[in-house]
Amino acid sequence: MAGRRHASGEITTKLAQAHEMAAKGKTQREICKALGVSIMTYHRWKKMVNASADSHASGQIEGPADTSDAMETDGVLKRLELENSRLRRLVTDMLLDKLRLEDELRARQEAPYGKPSKSR
C-alpha cells in the first residue's frame, strides 16, 4: 500500500491538532489514529519541527523576527521537498544508466564471437 504525501500546510495543521490532543491527555496512538497517520510519520514530523526550532534557537535560520513557527516549518518543508525531488531525479537517472549498461552487457554476452566456418 503506497503512502500518501501530505502538504506542508497540512502537516502544520495536523501537528497543531496533535499538540492540542496531547494537552488533553490523549495517547500517541489515539492522536495518530485521529490524524490518520502512522506513529512513525507523527514522530518524523515532530522531529522535523524540533530540528527546525533547535536550529532557529541556535541562530542557524535567519529571517524576520516576527515569523511564526508555522512559517518556519513551511520553509523547512519546502527546502526538504525540493532536496527530495532532486535526489529522486538523481537516483532515477542512475537507475536508468544502470539498466542501459546491463542491457549492453547482456547483448555483448549473447552475440556470437566469430564461430569457425564449416566450409571445406
3-state SS, one letter per residue, for 27-92 = CHHHHHHHHCCCHHHHHHHHHHHHHHHHHHHCCCCCCCCCCCHHHHHHHHHHHHHHHHHHHHHHHH
Torsion, Cα of 108, 110, 114, 116 (10° steps): 160
Give the integer Cα–Cα distance in Å for 117 and 21. 82
Residue given cell 542557524 in the structure block: 60
Band the pLDDT of 65: cuts 50, 70, 90: very low
CA 69, distance to chain mean position in Å, is 21
Give the integer Cα–Cα distance in Å for 24 and 31. 11
Lowest-confidence segment of 17-31, 70-84, 106-120 by average pLDDT: 106-120
The grid coordinates listed for 25 are 491527555
Domain ranges of the chain: 8-59+66-109
Q: What are the pLDDT digits (tens) for 26-57? A: 998 999 999 999 989 988 888 887 777 776 66
